[in-house]
Chains A and B, each alone.
Chain A
Amino acid sequence: MTSQLTGAEPGATAPAASGHTLEQGQDEASAWLERQQRRRRLLGQVGVPVVALLLVVVFSIIADNFLSVDNFQTIASDAALPAIVAIGLTLCLAAGEFDLSLSGVAGLATVSAAQLLSPMNLTTISAIVIVLGVGILIGMANGFLVGYLGLPALIVTIAVGAILNGAQYVVTDSQQIYGGFPEGLVAFCRGSVGPVPNLALIALVVAVLAWLTLEHSTLGRHVRAVGGNPVAARIAGINNARVKLYVFILSAALTTLAGFLFAGKQTTAYPLSGLDVLLPSFAACFIGAAMFKIGEFNVPGTIVGVMIATITSNGLILMSVPAYASYFFQGAILLAAILFARLVSTERSLT
């Protein structure tokens, strides 16, 4: 995925060998390359955290009430569900694939959860089993079409997303569902342990597991290999199709989990009103790819990306900026993220 992300040309752009002997030319070239890379890497390590810090400082100054424990709890709680979705997307992007069905998956999970819990009166456990099961099936469909049939993920997941948007009307019979959720679930989704919201804790657990998976597990190594160079990954003996199947399942399952919890938090649901996740998730992942492991999608980076997006929208709301302005900011953040990722990319080498 790295090269698509940054668009860096595979060829080297080392300076023309000006030295007279071969070794001299080579040494100069590689020294130049190394200086370049170090500078870019430093910019990447420092750049994003500095932006996040600046945001906090700016909003503390210009927005009343920004700098308070209550507000930070709100931010943590608001960031939790988008973070869970973005973590799933991170796994997908790390394997070099896109998942644009996220909004549809999240929305369907929310309305299905509401339908099962409120009018149909199922227990929380049975509802979550059913909803997660459906989410996994959707992920399997995406993964099968992309991995095994080789269809382009961009189109497949847009199509699946559209179908799921339609399905939300079927599930709810086009009605709004309001209230009647199990009290335990609602209390959990709105509660906290000490100052930390429960949802933020869940996001944290998901993040740790996803980080372990991506960075240290056999599957994660294969995911990064397929994303880095699918041809070489296949030659090395990786079953690329199966890896893609797994990441689409994980992406859909995590999005489903977030959609389910969103229902419990809002205690209301109607078609196409689920979590607004698509754009923020992509923005978070691309911001994340510009830090920690430069040029690679990674879980800690994604978390910081989600925090930046959430802090921005929180600050803007506190400043009573009209709601439509947040669209401008979402788009601008995504553009800034990929520009920055390109800027700090070190995907250039001599060979």
Chain B
Amino acid sequence: MTGTSLAEEMALEVRSATQYYPGVQALTEVDFTLRAGEVVGLVGHNGAGKSTLTRIIAGVERPVSGEVLVAGRKMTFASPRDALDAGIAVVPQQLNLVPSMSVSDNITLGVSGRRRDLVERAARVAGTLGISDLLGRRAGDCAASVQRLVMIARALLRAPSIVLLDEPTAALHPAEVKRVFAAIERMRSEGLGVVFISHRLEEVLGFCSRVVVLRHGGVVAERETTGMPKDELGELIAGRKLEALAESEVVEPEGAPVLTVTGLAVPPVVGRFDVDLRPGEVVGLAGLVGAGMSEVLECLAGLHREYKGEVRVGDERVSLRSRQASMKAGIAYIPDDRSHNGIIGNLTVATTATLVNDRDYRVMSRIPLVVAKREQSAVDAVLSKLDIRPASVARNRISTLSGGNQQKVLIARALMSGARVFIINEPTEGVDVAAKRDIHDRIREMAGAGGAVLVASSEPDELADLCDRVLVMYEGRIVLELPGHEATPEAITKACLVGA
């Protein structure tokens, strides 16, 4: 071990933290240090391990192996409470204020003590953040930047020595960002250690003295930020060297489009979206969280009533006022966040697959009674093509299947619906490597039979493997189209981060 002088200097130290989740290795022997009075950037694309590391530091979860030291002392956090007691405060990305309560009450929320003392302490913290004059205002009436500062004030009220800021500037205007940075600067000057987690590379480079880059659950770089160009950081996040992006030339595939989207707007997120899907094509959608991919896909699935623009399936103009209308137009949809949006735990596998499409398995097509045997053998037949193991699971409850198999059942449902257009959001979220390959093969097959696929993924590698071309979205618009040979993971990542 190193000498005590060095250890004392470290406000926070994480030593070879490793974490697994079912099917995923989230962190592999990650080291991380933070000195008092230092602002360190933590960057990496989705799934790189930032959140896992944050959760370990914040005491939300315990690593499988490795340790966390605060001011040189080894800590064991059983809960976020313990981490807070050790002086670690986290400002989550999600604003969780009570809109109907005053700013002052929001700052002291969850802290017990005499009301007068609390009000005084809140006023003191608010003073350092420059929001004193807003203490009596309803939190819900404050601007987004003020709300963010209220969240920071809440963390500072507990007099932490270490503050983790998760995407503190997301959804803020440049002018508002300045107020947040003034607060960070203040914390730094008062000797606090600050971890700044962000996708905004300019901000990371501008305000952190050091940056730690995570990729695939490991630390791939740790650099001083002085003089570091933005592109270099982008390359570190994406991995490998980036070649300059070539001028994209659009190769027109054969055949009339299966799906034509013109001038699609989904307020307030998507400004304009246009795409033609040709028969046999798999088109990818890439972008950061909040860039509008999910909204585009959900809109095509008929889940956003309020949209503008024209959507044609084949030659026919279709209405997307409801999921049923979209389905009738021949659009199948496989949602993201499977456990929330896809899986109905009390149904069997067979019922899940044929839920709204049971006509072929009825006693008689006019009598709406489903013969379980008929339905199960049909679903098992489709699932066997998806290489689902163990075989013949159609009569089991869907909740007993692994994540990868559940996803295959949702794919089977899309295949059995007779749709021509397949809309897929995060096709392999929480799915193991083998199932991932199967699922990719099946998606290619969906397109093979004269259909077309539009698929969004937060994994650039996946899009690069799977797609004939990739559209990159940034702040609600398509900013770049990458034809297949140029759609490398590095190019996709860079375009997502810097907006082409």
Most chain A CB neighbours (cut-off 10 Å) among B333, B355, B370, B372 = B355
Q: Does B340 contact A26, Cβ atoms closer than 8 Å?
A: no
**A125 sits at the interface (CB 8 A):** no
Q: Which residues of chain B are near A231, meaning CB under 8 Å?
A: 340-341
- CA A229 – CA B355 in complex, angstroms? 13
Q: Does A218 contact B347, Cβ atoms closer than 8 Å?
A: no
Q: Does A26 contact B303, Cβ atoms closer than 8 Å?
A: no
Q: Which residues of chain B are near A350, meaning CB under 8 Å?
A: 22, 402
- Mask, B356-393, CB within 8 Å of A = 1, is 10100010000011101000000000000000000000
**B301 sits at the interface (CB 8 A):** yes
B24 closest partner in A (C-beta): A22
- Mask, A56-72, CB within 8 Å of B = 1, is 00000000000000000
Q: Which residues of chain B are near A237, meaning CB under 8 Å?
A: 323-324, 327, 355-356
Q: Does B342 contact A221, Cβ atoms closer than 8 Å?
A: no
Which residue of A29, A212, A216, A225 contacts B344 across the interface (Cβ within 8 Å)?
A: A225
Within 78-132 of B, Cβ neighbours of A (below 8 Å) are at: none
A218 closest partner in B (C-beta): B368
In the assembled complex, the CB of B361 is this many whole angstroms from the nearest CB of chain A, namely 10
Q: Does A225 contact B355, Cβ atoms closer than 8 Å?
A: yes
Which residue of A25, A219, A235, A351 contacts B430 across the interface (Cβ within 8 Å)?
A: A351
- CA A71 – CA B355 in complex, angstroms? 45
Q: Which residues of chain A are near B301, meaning CB under 8 Å?
A: 235
Q: Does B22 contact A234, Cβ atoms closer than 8 Å?
A: no
Q: Which residues of chain A are near B344, meaning CB under 8 Å?
A: 224-225, 228-229, 232-233, 236
- CA A31 – CA B15 in complex, angstroms? 31
Number of A-B contacts (CB under 8 A): 102
In the assembled complex, the CB of A292 is this many whole angstroms from the nearest CB of chain B, namely 13
Q: Which residues of chain A are near B488, meaning CB under 8 Å?
A: none
Which residue of B25, B340, B355, B402 contacts A22 across the interface (Cβ within 8 Å)?
A: B25
**A227 sits at the interface (CB 8 A):** yes
Q: Which residues of chain A are near B333, meaning CB under 8 Å?
A: 235
A29 closest partner in B (C-beta): B22
**B10 sits at the interface (CB 8 A):** no
Q: How many residues of A contact B (CB 8 A)?
A: 36
A26 touching B23 in the complex, CB below 8 Å, given contacts A219-B368, A221-B370:
yes
- CA A64 – CA B301 in complex, angstroms? 65
**A217 sits at the interface (CB 8 A):** yes
Which residue of A29, A217, A227, A293 contacts B370 across the interface (Cβ within 8 Å)?
A: A217
Q: Does B347 contact A221, Cβ atoms closer than 8 Å?
A: yes
B65 closest partner in A (C-beta): A20
**A342 sits at the interface (CB 8 A):** no
Q: Does A221 contact B355, Cβ atoms closer than 8 Å?
A: yes
Q: Which residues of chain B are near A227, meaning CB under 8 Å?
A: 346
In the assembled complex, the CB of B403 is this many whole angstroms from the nearest CB of chain A, namely 4
A232 closest partner in B (C-beta): B344
**A349 sits at the interface (CB 8 A):** yes
In the assembled complex, the CB of A1 is this many whole angstroms from the nearest CB of chain B, namely 8
Q: Which residues of chain B are near A229, meaning CB under 8 Å?
A: 340, 343-345
Q: Does B342 contact A232, Cβ atoms closer than 8 Å?
A: yes
In the assembled complex, the CB of B431 is this many whole angstroms from the nearest CB of chain A, namely 10
**B16 sits at the interface (CB 8 A):** no
- Mask, A230-266, CB within 8 Å of B = 1, is 0111111111000000000000000000000000000
Q: Does B20 contact A22, Cβ atoms closer than 8 Å?
A: yes
- Mask, B296-330, CB within 8 Å of A = 1, is 00000101000000000000000000111001000
Q: Which residues of chain A are near B369, meaning CB under 8 Å?
A: 212, 216-218
Most chain A CB neighbours (cut-off 10 Å) among B62, B369, B402 = B369
Q: Does B368 contact A351, Cβ atoms closer than 8 Å?
A: no
Q: Does A218 contact B358, Cβ atoms closer than 8 Å?
A: yes
In the assembled complex, the CB of A286 is this many whole angstroms from the nearest CB of chain B, namely 16
**A104 sits at the interface (CB 8 A):** no
Q: Does A224 contact B323, Cβ atoms closer than 8 Å?
A: no
A sample of 10 inter-chain contacts (CB < 8 A) reads A25-B22, A212-B369, A222-B356, A232-B340, A232-B343, A235-B301, A235-B341, A235-B342, A236-B413, A347-B345
